[in-house]
């Protein structure tokens, strides 16, 4: 079964510093990986995805993620953090459904706090 692990409940970083939010995955077959962000009392907003191709994926708001097949990781990164990046971040993997189609299996989330 597909699964995702986010080992850090919270990541603290100073504004202007680089940030990394970690994600490791377990899938059978080729992984389809996603990052979403959630602000308080809001739904999830899509940031970026890896389907195939270049291991470095660029997404919204200056975020990028690096796919590493040997380490089964898909860490989210940003070169310079902003206070407005403070939110809850979810890593997800596509999982196939027995009836056809697919769903997303999410990690438990990482709270990012960017301080001045």
Contact positions vs another protein (CB under 8 A): 32, 34, 36, 41-46, 49, 51, 90, 92, 94, 97-101, 103-109
User: What are the tokens at 37?
Assistant: 């962000």
3-state class of 10 per DSSP? strand
CB of 82 to another protein, least distance (A): 21
What kind and span of H or E run contains 3? strand 3-5
- For 32, which DSSP code? -
CB of 62 to another protein, least distance (A): 18
> Which residue number, 51 or 83, has a Cβ lying nearer to another protein?
51
> Which residue number, 35 or 78, has a Cβ lying nearer to another protein?
35
Nearest residue to 93 (alpha-carbon basis) of 28, 32, 5, 52: 32
> Which residue number, 76 or 109, has a Cβ lying nearer to another protein?
109
∠ CA 53-82-79, nearest 5°, is 40
> Which residue number, 73 or 105, has a Cβ lying nearer to another protein?
105
CB of 74 to another protein, least distance (A): 14
Q: How far apart are CA 17 and CA 31, in angstroms?
A: 30
CB of 22 to another protein, least distance (A): 15
């Amino acid at each position: 079964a597909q699964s995702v692990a986010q080992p850090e409940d919270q990541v603290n970083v100073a504004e202007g510093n680089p940030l990394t939010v970690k994600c490791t995955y377990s899938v059978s077959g080729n992984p389809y990986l996603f990052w979403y962000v959630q602000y308080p009392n809001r739904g999830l907003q899509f940031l970026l995805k890896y389907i195939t191709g270049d291991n470095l994926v660029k997404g919204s708001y200056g975020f990028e993620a690096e796919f590493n097949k040997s380490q089964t990781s898909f860490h989210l990164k940003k070169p310079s953090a902003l206070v407005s990046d403070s939110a809850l971040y979810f890593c997800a993997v596509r999982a196939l459904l027995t009836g056809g189609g697919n769903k997303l299996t999410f990690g438990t989330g990482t709270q990012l706090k960017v301080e001045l």
